[in-house]
Structure 1
Amino acid sequence: MLYTDLLFDVDDTLLQFKKGEEAALQTIFADYGIDYADGFETFRTISSALWQAAEAGEITVPTILETRFMKWLDAYQLEGDGVALDERFRSLLAADDYSFDGAYDMLRRLERHHRLSIVTNGVGNTQDARLKRSNLDSFFAYRFVSSEIGVQKPDERFFEAVNETIPEFQAERALVIGDSLTSDMEGARRAGIPSCWFNPERASIPNQPIDYIIHDYADLERLVAWQEPVRIRIDHYQLEEERVYVGDRSMIDNLMWLEDWHAVEKQLHALGFLRTTKPAHLVLDFDTQLKYVLHT
């Protein structure tokens, strides 16, 4: 087995935070007679700045909860209790099941052979309520929450808590699965843990090192079943960006060596290979008659 421990982020990885946030904020804004689009833009600007400051270690999560709605109320010169409003917002987040389609079945299959844990920058009781509402809470042996640990991903100390808590934890046998490049992927890099970027929207490939880039849960289930991952780079003078794919080494024997690099790329997709930004082990060089060489 390639990975023993699977470390899952929550928001926009298992639960659709944006969907739950929209429903919660619509309710709150309506009570104040504030247009949703305008109210959301103001709230997003305030909240994003606060969370970025928290990721940088400049403020704590409690500070966010104490100030974001107070700042929002001040922006509209409204009276109200910002802390109580934040509590209501987080309660509304757990009012419905906002899990991604297939999350429950995916976790049910993975727990048979892997130890599953939560690694989140959210608020502990809020995340617990949301996971329970979505029937996902029972799958996780351990949960790590930034507001309880005292530091946020990507701080190395967050994953030190993981290492110190999970019995016989081995960084190289663990995998961080999350949607955030700045907290999940960067945190995994700092901790020396393999990383898996959940990218269902197919956003542009970043420059930072990421072991696996997946678009759905099927990609994740496939990669954790691999025995020996191998990275292959496609080289061609027409390519403006480096394209490296990762897949199970056993699949290489099924790859047909065609002259058209587009066709070979389609084959890699069909064989279950995923994009990666890590350096390649093998090179398919279409400028030198399709010879592949060991990358050193």
Structure 2
Amino acid sequence: MIWLLDLDNTLVDRAAAFGAWASDAVAQVGGTADDLAAIVAADEGGHGSKEALARVIVDRLGWPDDVPAAIERFRAGILAGIRPYDGVLRSLEVLRAAGHRVAVVTNGASAQQRGKIARCGIEPHVDAIVVSGEEGVAKPDPRLVEVALDRLGASDVDRRDVWMIGDAAHADVAVGRAAGTRTGWVSHGRAWQGGDRPDVVAPATREVIALAASPRSRGAVG
């Protein structure tokens, strides 16, 4: 079996890291709850424009009008607070011990995503890492899945033996469907609103992996 896993809010808790940084940044300048809410909303769970987010931060917190510098500040804050979800690295090791191949497939800038992976000690637990910023193509473009499968030496594998798992319907589930793989959605308690449901849905990554790895899921066609 081949496992392709998103990084942010799938293997690592980016939402908590950004939220903690934003709360501290607002408190440092005596900002308000409305300022914090505006900054968190502009982040769009990590999927929004970094330039637009930086503009909101500059306006709300009175920072110097230097968008690139603001982006570097909040990226550094995320890196300082990033942590893997409890038990998720163990789940990856269990998969690999069973002979499965595992890759991280993430959208984002190379330095930032590689920094998260290094800080959280993920690389020793996977067989390949694919970062959109290094490949010139991003999820939901299925070419990123093809890059990952090639790195794993699995370009010709039956796509029913491949799982794409992540928290973002528009990127992770969509890229899996476009590439013909099975899909697992990490809901974090949200309701699915994207039409046909993914093959597996659960609140946490470990639960999605466990369900997808079960004999029942392996025997079904997604």
What's the TM-score once normalised by structure 2's chain length?
0.83
Q: Deviations over 1:159-196 (max 9, x none)?
A: 23224433133233211011111110011111111111
CA separation of 1:215 and 1:72: change in aligned 2, threshold 3 A:
closer
Residue 220 of structure 1 corresponds to which residue in structure 2? 209
> Which residues of 2 match residues 14-29 of structure 1 at below 5 A?
14-29=11-26
Q: Deviations over 1:226-284 (max 9, x none)?
A: 275248xxxxxxxxxxxxxxxxxxxxxxxxxxxxxxxxxxxxxxxxxxxxxx6xxxxxx
Partner of residue 143 from structure 1, selected from 109, 112, 129: 129
Residue 116 of structure 2 corresponds to which residue in structure 1? 130
Q: Which has the higher helix share?
A: 2
CA separation of 1:106 and 1:168: change in aligned 2, threshold 3 A:
closer
The structure, 1 or 2, with the larger RCO (C-alpha pairs under 8 Å, 6+ apart) is: 2
CA separation of 1:192 and 1:87: change in aligned 2, threshold 3 A:
same
> Which residues of 2 match residues 1-296 of structure 1 at below 5 A?
3=1, 5-35=2-32, 37-48=33-44, 51=47, 64-74=49-59, 78-112=63-97, 113-169=99-155, 170=157, 171-201=159-189, 203-204=191-192, 206-216=194-204, 217-226=206-215, 228-230=218-220
CA separation of 1:144 and 1:18: change in aligned 2, threshold 3 A:
same
Is the 1:90–1:126 Cα contact (8 Å) retained in structure 2?
A: yes
Residue 259 of structure 1 corresponds to which residue in structure 2? none
Is the 1:6–1:115 Cα contact (8 Å) retained in structure 2?
A: yes
CA separation of 1:156 and 1:196: change in aligned 2, threshold 3 A:
same
CA separation of 1:204 and 1:175: change in aligned 2, threshold 3 A:
closer
Runs of 4+ in 1 over 4 A off after TM superposition: 75-78
CA separation of 1:153 and 1:40: change in aligned 2, threshold 3 A:
farther
Shift of 1:77: 6.1
Please give the secondary structure, in 2, of the residue aligned with 1:95: helix
Please give the secondary structure, in 1, of the residue aligned with 2:163: strand
The number of residues matched between the two structures is 217
Shift of 1:50: 9.3
* Distance in 2 separating the partners of 1:88 and 1:226: 46
Deviates more, 1:146-155 or 1:41-50: 41-50
Is the 1:214–1:220 Cα contact (8 Å) retained in structure 2?
A: no
Gaps of 5+ in 2: none
User: Rg: which structure is higher?
Assistant: 1
CA separation of 1:200 and 1:16: change in aligned 2, threshold 3 A:
same
Deviates more, 1:156-165 or 1:189-198: 156-165
